[in-house]
């Protein structure tokens, strides 16, 4: 179906090729998972399938890419639209029309499908994806999961035989991600579609994959059955890590497979209780670093945050979870003092950050927003660091670049902030916000677009900051990240706190929020592979 | 189909064909250009208001009429200010309202006066002229409010299809730009920077423009991968011929129009050039259209309400253009000496006829903004934009009780 023949891609001005001599042959009806570190070239590989590379992105492509017998050299993306459907990372950025129904029809209109056929196919597509109730909705009003399903539907309606999805679940909460992946697997199994999918959070998809293509750092690829590729892969979900640790063979890819092999491991771990590790480290009498009482945030008629009270203690990392739109961001902004707050009090060391001038408020509470790029506006990393120090006064010279070196060693000071990887850009934003020395640090969705290694590095940085006596609050959808880093989890829904307690208790209370290791080893209260390794080491 | 059921099929809520709204609004626009009578102009604007209020949808662009009215008011104000500053000539019998200090100008600027006496006559003429411009702006605004801009694009000749890309990108990215600007301003506050002055402008403008550029490229890539601009059946030679015809026609039209306007009188050469230019353009569009093959999902219907709306708009245009019922002073009430404008009966009735469009057009379809379980999108979670109502049920999470 899709054939890569000795494909190398070199972007203009780049020293080394992104892909080097790639040969692949993907058969019809396969679900192919593309994995790799951030910036390894996953997107380039995906975009080469329908010719966006190099027709749209520029650069040089050597070799041949043939899809359904058509060579992308002679067929630009628009001439492959009837064969390949592409859905990008942010579905909203690709919407061309106003309503769901028109969006589904758009691709067919371009292909010149007769009007009667179009009506029929739109109805079919609405049913296949389960979005019939949304048909007249304006695209702006859809939730993230709904947008992603509409985006898939809009390419599906044109009846392509290949579907290319670039990180379809990276912005979604766990239930919405399940929804989208359920649709994708159904397309493969019921319609025999070929699906090529790139994803960072392998724990969500690896069990559905027929084949895994790992894009290695140097531009090469490794391709094979999932278990074979992941045994030696640089990126692996917790279930695979646990399998490697326990030496299971064949390597399990799903919680079910792992659980069936886990009985001996559970027996080995049984004698050691880890519940004691998850007692709150502080004495209850320790004064909270930040305390909020009855915080309410309204956007027009909608109450985004309803009378939330919460305390953050020094030296504690708290995770905040909840579906898209449950009020997490609104609460973070209200706590920082920059966002609106219609009622309630926030007290940080006797001061209310919303009453301070912005320059003062950031010395008290630092917030890294969802898109760190919003904070940056200068041409180079060094200039951004210098600017951050200047804002803090003459004594602060070198603080920001020092912090950046510590969080992400080896970032080129002359680089443009837009050219950094997601992880490096996040580190830069964090360094800028920490240069003011706030005692409370809030992070909004920092794990978006980070691979496992970058997430582990971020977890290390957050633990270190907590160790220095700061209070950290991280809003995220990533269960595994929360399990690895947080002492405490707060769950929000419709603007209210519905759960607040020690991580182990909260995340294991609901399957949707439980990390893979907890599911495999239940009823034992292990959350991460590191904990298991630690327990085994103690026993040995 | 019986007459009665056909009548009803015209009343079912649906969006009127966008071309019908544009014909109607431009008809009123033509009517306005024939008169400076403020009462007639005000009548036209009221008719626009009535029709827009009763037949607009609930999409974002449908709430735009007030901005066009504000723009019109600004135009009137600018005109009045300019006339009072650069006027300053008094002839006998004119009423001087007030005097501005006169600025002495060098001799080479003879004929231009800055400051001086301002007369009621001059002010009245400025207001009348401004009203006409404001009325025209309101007509265009009403058409934009009533007709979905993207559906208007669909009736463009296929040969102008590339123009469509630019317009679609602009229509889609502009609202996102506003959102990005709000988001960035808030984020910059986190760095403790007051978003004021040149520094503040740069801090907001750079990320917003980068964001907009990135989004435009994403959208263009998405349109391309979904088949936008696919080649049709036409061979390359025909396509080139179409492009050449269009280009040559444009040149012909320009030359012809220039000749017509510049020459002492319209000569037959100029008329011929114009005619040939138009013909070449039409042929170019027809040939060029063959290179694009596309179909239309649920094409807008053209039924009796569309005809009725067009007629309602063309009646005032025809009546005022023909000068029916103009009376002795025509449609231009005297400003020197100022007199209370009279209301010419026939044109006024003709303008009111245009309001019948509100009855003739079927009610618009109401877009469903949020169904049950509608949550707002991930971006909206940032407090920069107000989220739609969250009606989602709470997750099935038991309260925090550690085991």
Q: Are A510 and B369 inside 8 Å of each other by CB? A: no
Which residues of chain A are within 8 Å of residue B231 when distances are taken between CB atoms? 79
Q: If you average pLDDT over every residue of chain A, what do you get? A: 88
**CB-side exposure of A289: number of CA atoms within 13 Å?**
24
Which residues of chain B are within 8 Å of residue A119 when distances are taken between CB atoms? 297-298
pLDDT in tens, A247-287: 898 889 999 999 999 999 998 888 655 544 444 444 445 67
Q: Are A110 and B148 inside 8 Å of each other by CB? A: no
**CB-side exposure of A113: number of CA atoms within 13 Å?**
24
CA distances to A59, A358, A477, B67, B87 from B27, in Å: 52, 54, 56, 21, 33
Q: CA–CA separation, A444 vs A239, rounded Å? A: 27
- Helical axes A174-191 vs A115-128, angle rounded to 10°: 120
Long-range contacts of A239-244 (CB under 8 A, 24+ apart): A239/A203, A239/A206, A239/A516, A239/A517, A239/A520, A240/A202, A240/A206, A241/A529, A242/A516, A242/A517, A242/A520, A242/A529, A242/A532
Q: Are A329 and B186 inside 8 Å of each other by CB? A: no
Minimal C-alpha gap between A105 and chain B (Å):
6
Q: Which residue of A has its CA nearest to B181?
A: A374
- Helical axes B18-33 vs B38-55, angle rounded to 10°: 170
A:141-170 residues touching chain B, CB 8 A cutoff: 141-144, 147, 154-155, 158
Neighbour-count burial of B90, counting CB atoms closer than 10 A to its CB (0-12 exposed, 13-18 middle, 19+ buried): middle
Statement: residue B398 has pLDDT above 60: no
Statement: residue A454 has pLDDT above 50: yes
A56 interfaces chain B, CB cutoff of 8 Å: yes
Say if CB A448 and CB A324 are below 8 A apart: no
Q: CA–CA separation, A437 vs A89, rounded Å? A: 34
| Nearest alpha carbon to residue B313 among B265, B361, B259 | B361
pLDDT in tens, B171-203: 777 777 777 888 888 888 888 766 567 777 787
Query: Which tokens is A306 given?
Result: 């309803």
Minimal C-alpha gap between B143 and chain A (Å):
18
User: Which residues, 6 or more positions from A356, have their beta carbon under 8 angstroms from its beta carbon?
Assistant: A337, A364
| Predicted pLDDT of residue A282 | 47
How far apart, in Å, do the first and last CA atoms of chain A sit? 51
Using CB atoms, pick whichever of B192, B376, B387 lies closest to residue A359.
Answer: B192
Minimal C-alpha gap between A505 and chain B (Å):
4
Q: Which residue is associated with the tokens 């435009």?
A: B216
Q: Are B383 and A108 inside 8 Å of each other by CB? A: no
Statement: residue B403 has pLDDT above 60: no
Statement: residue B378 has pLDDT above 80: no
A460 interfaces chain B, CB cutoff of 8 Å: no
Statement: residue B386 has pLDDT above 60: no
Say if CB A131 and CB A58 are below 8 A apart: no
pLDDT in tens, A140-192: 888 888 888 899 999 999 999 999 999 888 878 888 888 888 889 888 888 88
Range with the largest mean pLDDT of A266-270, A484-488, B323-327: A484-488
Q: CA–CA separation, A87 vs A196, rounded Å? A: 11
Among the listed ranges A47-51, A411-415, B398-402, which one has the minimum average pLDDT value?
Answer: B398-402
| Predicted pLDDT of residue A473 | 96
Query: Which tokens is B7 given?
Result: 């009548």
Among the listed ranges A1-5, A209-213, A509-513, B252-256, which one has the minimum average pLDDT value?
Answer: A509-513
Statement: residue B385 has pLDDT above 50: no
Q: What is the ipTM for the molecules in this complex?
A: 0.84
B:331-370 residues touching chain A, CB 8 A cutoff: 365, 367-370
Q: Which residue of A has its CA nearest to B207?
A: A377
pLDDT in tens, A325-378: 889 999 999 999 888 899 999 999 889 999 988 888 889 999 999 888 888 888
Which residues of chain A are within 8 Å of residue B171 when distances are taken between CB atoms? none
| Nearest alpha carbon to residue A239 among A203, A269, A208 | A203
| Predicted pLDDT of residue B388 | 38
| Predicted pLDDT of residue B266 | 58
pLDDT in tens, A421-447: 888 889 999 999 999 889 999 999 998
pLDDT in tens, A189-229: 888 899 999 988 888 888 889 999 999 878 889 999 998 99
Chain center to CA of A381: 24
Which of A75, A76, A78 to probe the B interface (max B CBs under 10 A)? A78
Q: If you average pLDDT over every residue of chain B, what do you get? A: 79
The model carries a pTM of: 0.78
Q: Are B221 and A147 inside 8 Å of each other by CB? A: no
Using CB atoms, pick whichever of A108, A144, A154 lies closest to residue B378.
Answer: A144
pLDDT in tens, B46-89: 999 999 999 988 776 788 888 899 999 999 999 999 988 887 67
> How many C-beta neighbours within 10 Å does residue A342 have?
13
CA distances to A80, B161, B288 from A109, in Å: 15, 13, 18
**CB-side exposure of A480: number of CA atoms within 13 Å?**
23
Cis peptide before B220 (omega within 30 of 0): no
Percent of chain B past pLDDT 70, that is, above it, reads 82
> DSSP readout, B288-353?
HHTTB----SSPPP--HHHHHHHHHHHHHHHHHHHTTT--TTTTS--BTTB-PPP--HHHHHHHHH
Q: Are B148 and A98 inside 8 Å of each other by CB? A: yes
A526 interfaces chain B, CB cutoff of 8 Å: no
């Amino acid at each position: 179906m899709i054939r890569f023949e000795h494909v190398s891609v070199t972007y203009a001005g780049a020293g080394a090729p992104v892909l080097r001599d790639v040969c692949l042959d993907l058969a019809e009806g396969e679900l192919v998972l593309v994995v790799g570190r951030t910036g390894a070239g996953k997107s380039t590989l995906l975009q080469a399938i329908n010719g966006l590379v190099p027709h749209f992105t520029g650069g040089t492509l050597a070799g041949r890419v043939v899809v359904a017998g058509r060579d992308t050299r002679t067929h630009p993306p628009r001439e492959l639209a009837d064969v390949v459907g592409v859905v990008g990372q942010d579905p909203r950025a690709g919407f061309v029309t106003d309503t769901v129904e028109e969006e589904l029809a758009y691709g067919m209109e371009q292909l010149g499908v007769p009007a009667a056929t179009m009506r029929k196919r739109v109805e079919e597509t609405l049913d296949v994806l389960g979005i019939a109730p949304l048909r007249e909705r304006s695209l702006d009003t859809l939730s993230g999961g709904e947008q992603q399903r509409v985006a898939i539907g809009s390419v599906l309606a044109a009846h392509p035989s290949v579907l290319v999805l670039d990180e379809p679940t990276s912005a979604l909460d766990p239930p919405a991600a399940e929804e989208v992946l359920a649709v994708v697997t159904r397309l493969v199994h019921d319609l025999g579609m070929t699906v090529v999918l790139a994803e960072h959070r392998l724990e969500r998809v690896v069990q559905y994959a027929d084949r895994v293509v790992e894009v290695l750092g140097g531009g090469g690829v490794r391709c094979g059955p999932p278990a074979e590729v992941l045994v030696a892969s640089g990126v692996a979900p917790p279930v695979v890590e646990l399998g490697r640790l326990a030496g299971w063979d064949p390597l399990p890819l799903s919680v079910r497979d792992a659980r069936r092999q886990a009985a001996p491991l559970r027996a080995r771990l049984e004698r050691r209780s880890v519940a004691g590790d998850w007692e709150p480290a502080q004495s209850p009498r320790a004064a909270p670093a930040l305390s909020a009482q009855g915080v309410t945030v309204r956007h027009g008629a909608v109450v985004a945050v309803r009378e939330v009270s919460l305390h953050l203690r020094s030296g504690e990392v708290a995770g905040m979870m909840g579906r898209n739109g449950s009020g997490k961001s609104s609460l973070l902004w209200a706590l920082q003092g920059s966002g609106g707050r219609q009622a309630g009090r926030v007290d940080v060391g006797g001061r209310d950050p919303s009453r301070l001038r912005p320059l003062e408020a950031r010395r008290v509470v630092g917030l890294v927003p969802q898109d760190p790029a919003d904070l940056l506006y200068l041409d180079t990393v060094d200039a951004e660091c210098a600017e951050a120090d200047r804002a803090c006064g003459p004594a602060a010279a070198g603080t920001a670049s020092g912090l950046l070196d510590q969080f992400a060693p080896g970032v080129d000071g002359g680089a443009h902030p837009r050219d950094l990887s997601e992880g490096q850009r996040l580190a830069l934003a964090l360094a800028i916000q920490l240069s003011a020395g706030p005692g409370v640090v809030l992070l909004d969705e920092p794990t978006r677009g980070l691979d496992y290694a970058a997430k582990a590095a971020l977890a290390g940085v957050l633990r270190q900051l907590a160790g220095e006596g700061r209070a950290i609050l991280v809003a995220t959808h990533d269960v595994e990240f929360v399990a690895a880093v947080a002492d405490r989890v707060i769950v929000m829904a419709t603007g209210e706190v519905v759960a607040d307690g020690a991580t182990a208790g909260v995340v294991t209370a609901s399957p949707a929020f439980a990390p893979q290791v907890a599911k495999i080893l239940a009823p034992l209260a292990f959350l991460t592979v590191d904990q298991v390794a630690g327990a085994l080491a103690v026993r040995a | 189909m019986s007459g009665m059921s056909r009548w009803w099929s015209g009343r079912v809520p649906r969006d009127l064909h966008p071309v019908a709204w544009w014909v109607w609004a431009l008809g009123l626009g033509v009517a306005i250009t024939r008169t400076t009578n403020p009462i007639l102009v005000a009548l036209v604007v009221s008719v626009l208001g009535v029709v827009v209020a009763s037949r607009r949808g609930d999409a974002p662009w449908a709430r735009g009429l007030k901005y066009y009215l504000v723009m019109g008011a600004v135009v009137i104000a600018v005109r009045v200010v300019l006339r009072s500053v650069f006027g300053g000539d008094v002839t006998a019998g004119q009423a001087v309202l007030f005097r501005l200090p006169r600025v002495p100008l060098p001799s080479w600027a003879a004929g231009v006066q800055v400051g001086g006496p301002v007369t009621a006559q001059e002010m009245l003429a400025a207001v009348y002229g401004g009203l006409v411009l404001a009325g025209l702006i309101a007509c265009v605004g009403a058409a934009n409010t009533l007709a979905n801009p993207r559906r208007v694009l669909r009736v463009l000749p296929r040969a102008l299809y590339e123009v469509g890309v630019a317009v679609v990108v602009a229509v889609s990215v502009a609202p996102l730009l506003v959102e990005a600007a709000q988001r960035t301003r808030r984020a910059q506050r986190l760095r403790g920077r007051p978003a004021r002055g040149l520094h503040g402008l740069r801090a907001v403008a750079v990320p917003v423009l980068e964001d907009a550029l990135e989004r435009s490229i994403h959208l263009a890539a998405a349109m391309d991968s979904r088949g936008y601009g696919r080649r049709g059946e036409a061979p390359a030679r025909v396509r080139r011929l179409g492009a050449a015809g269009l280009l040559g026609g444009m040149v012909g039209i320009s030359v012809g129009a220039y000749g017509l306007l510049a020459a002492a009188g319209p000569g037959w050469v100029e008329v011929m050039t114009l005619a040939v230019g138009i013909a070449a353009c039409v042929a170019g569009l027809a040939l060029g259209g063959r290179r694009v093959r596309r179909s239309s999902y649920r094409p807008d219907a053209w039924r009796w309400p569309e005809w009725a709306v067009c007629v309602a708009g063309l009646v005032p245009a025809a009546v005022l253009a023909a000068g029916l019922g103009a009376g002795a002073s025509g449609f231009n009430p005297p400003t020197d000496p100022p007199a209370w404008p009279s209301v010419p009966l026939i044109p006024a009735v003709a303008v009111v006829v245009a309001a019948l469009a509100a009855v003739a057009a079927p009610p618009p379809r109401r877009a469903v903004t949020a169904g049950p379980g509608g949550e707002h999108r991930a971006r909206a979670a940032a407090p920069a934009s107000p989220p739609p109502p969250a009606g989602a049920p709470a997750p099935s999470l038991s309260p925090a009780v550690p085991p």
